[in-house]
Structures are given as C-alpha cells and as structure tokens.
Structure 1
C-alpha cells in the first residue's frame, strides 16, 4: 500500500528555560505574565506598607490634633522626610491596592467562567487590568497632589 503524500510540517517550536544572564533582555513576557507578576508585587507592597496604613488610620482617627499632624505630614513632612515623599508612598499604596483588586477580579472571573480561559481573553483582560489600574492611579494621584 502506498501512503498518501502529506505536506511537510513546519518545524516545531523549541521550548527551553531562559537564562537570567543572557536571555532576560530579549525575552518578551506576555501581558498576562506581567499582570501575574505585578499582582504578586502589589501584594508584597501592601504587606510591607501595612505599618504605614495602620499609622495613617490611627493618626487620622485619634483626635483633632493627631489629624492635624496627619495633614501636616502630607503637606510639609515629618523630620527628614518631606511631604511629597509621604504622598509618593501613599500613591504606591493606592496603585498596589487598585492593581491587586482589579487583577484579583480578573483571576476570580477566570476561575468562575471556564470559557474565559483562552489566549485572547488572557491578553485582553490583562491589558484592561493594566490600563484600568494605571488610569485610576493617575486620577487619584491628581487628587492627592492637588490638581483638582
């Protein structure tokens, strides 16, 4: 019996581990991978800034005098740290919370809806997560730094 002639197949892609010293500059991480890494980074930032969150909450609610100190920390600073530094730390915390929340909703949606686990959905939802977290952070940064 003769076999039917089939068209030649293209060579298969080679999957390999990347070398951190040589391949990181040229490796293109997909948006879903970037969002996944940033989800972990934002969780670590929120964990590390937990004492700052507790200080802000305690100082803003204790008394009128402590609230005035709280506002002065963000306007003029405390000790060696200027006010803009506290605003930048608060802005990092705002971004971490927004990104972690939006990426968490993305992960929950993928867990609940099995139809959402496709390459196209992963790409579009990752881009939407990045766009929304940056846009909302910029809006709140404008409010924090007094642009409106």
Structure 2
C-alpha cells in the first residue's frame, strides 16, 4: 500500500488535510461564517432586550437610563446591528430549511441564495429602520 503523503523525486509533499490554501472562498462559505457570527451577536442583543425589559419593570429612573443608552447614537447603531443580525440569521435559517428539502443544492443556486440572503437582510433592516425612524416610534 502506498503512502499518500510520501514524496516522489521532484514533487512537493501533499497536505495531510484540506485547508484554506486549497478551497476557493465562495459566497456560501462567507454566509456560513456570518451566520455563526450573527448567532453569537443575537445573544448579546437578547441581553440588551432583557435589560430594557427589567428596567421597564423596576423603576422609572432605571427605564430612563436604559432609554437614554438605547436612544443615543451608539445605542441606535447597536440596535440597527442587532436588527440586521436578526434578519440575516432568520434568512440564513430559511436558506438551510430549503436545503433540507433537497432544493438549491447546486453550486450556482446555493451561491445565489447566499447573496440573496445578504441583500435581503440589509434591505429588510433598512426598510424597518426607515419605518421606525420616520413613520413612527
């Protein structure tokens, strides 16, 4: 039996396992990484929502503090990021549900769905925040 990692004269040794030098970075890979990151970010955002709810139920001064933090430019930026993470993670989950049915597994369609997930999550975030900031809140 031959040893697959052995070198022959004039040849470089083969890698033992696949790594980033072998794979070409694709939209599907990027969305997989972002899906994991947004999942972690949703934990932080959920803590903020819990803090806001506890502040609302305890005292007027605690709620005023929470409202001031969330209403600051940094707080709004964090809330916009949380909204985007929520939409992106939701759409990524729907994409995975579609894959679970056996559809969209072809290379071209999976890349299109990955790009559509990113575009739709940004569009939904912008649309929601336009409604929040300009229509009513």
Shared fold by TM > 0.5?
yes
User: 5 Å matches for 1:100-139?
Assistant: 100-111=89-100, 113-139=101-127
Inter-partner Cα distance in structure 2 for 1:65 and 1:48? 24
How far did 1:118 drift? 0.9
Structure 1's 117 and 94: CA in aligned 2 closer, same or farther, altered over 3 A?
same
> What are the equivalent positions in structure 2 for 1:66-81 lying under 5 Å apart?
69=64, 70-75=66-71
Over the residues paired in the alignment, what is the CA RMSD in angstroms? 2.8
Unaligned runs of 5+ in 2: 1-14
The alignment's TM-score, normalised by the length of structure 2, stands at: 0.71
Q: Which residue of 1 aligns with 2:37?
A: 41
Q: What residue is the counterpart of 1:18 in the other structure? A: 20
Aligned counterparts of 1:47 and 1:91: Cα–Cα separation in 2: 15
Moved over 4 A (4+): none
Q: Deviations over 1:31-55 (max 9, x none)?
A: 1111111100000111233321211
| 1:65 counterpart (60, 70, 94) | 60
Gaps of 5+ in 1: 1-14, 76-82
**Which residue of structure 1 lines up, in the alignment, with residue 81 of structure 2?**
92
1:140 to 2:128 alignment: yes
Contact preservation (8 Å) 2:70, 2:79: no
Between Structure 1 and Structure 2, how many residues are aligned?
118
